[in-house]
Amino acid sequence: MLRLLVLISTLFLASFTTFASSLYNAEVMVEDSDAATELAAKQKAMLEVLVRVSGQSEIVDNPVVKKSLGSVDTFISSVGYGEKNEQKTLVAGFESSKIRALLIQADATLWGEPRPYVLFWLIEDTLTAVRCFGSNLKTKKLL
């Protein structure tokens, strides 16, 4: 029993020492490499990064974010092409400081860095309700 407790404790603590990387990089599929397709791919990549960093899928509808997409190149630190599943991809890296500044300007949330790969939630199922408790969730009644 003691060994099991030690093993579970070790795995639990190890989850906090492994952190997600590449928050500011995105890879999107592209049909070809003409200017219009490349611009659309860069914008899509930037939206993916903004959702990842803010933790909010609604950020794509924010007027400040929509306006910034017109100057997507000012946020990019690196761009290249790759291949995934025999499909051409555009790989873009974004300046973390500029992305964070944009999210602050858009009055959006910023998830902390570094962040763990694993997040834990606790579900309480009673006769009258199901509740979800999480690290950055308020207690939420699910039913």
pTM: 0.67
Out of 14-28, 54-68, 101-115, least confident range: 14-28
Where exactly are the structural domains of the chain? 21-112
Among 5, 10, 18, 73, which residue's Cα sits nearest to residue 40? Answer: 73
Q: Per-residue confidence at 113, pLDDT binned at 50, 70, 90?
A: low
The fraction of the chain above a pLDDT of 90, given in percent, is 45
pLDDT per position as a tens digit, 85-112: 889 999 999 999 999 999 999 999 887 6
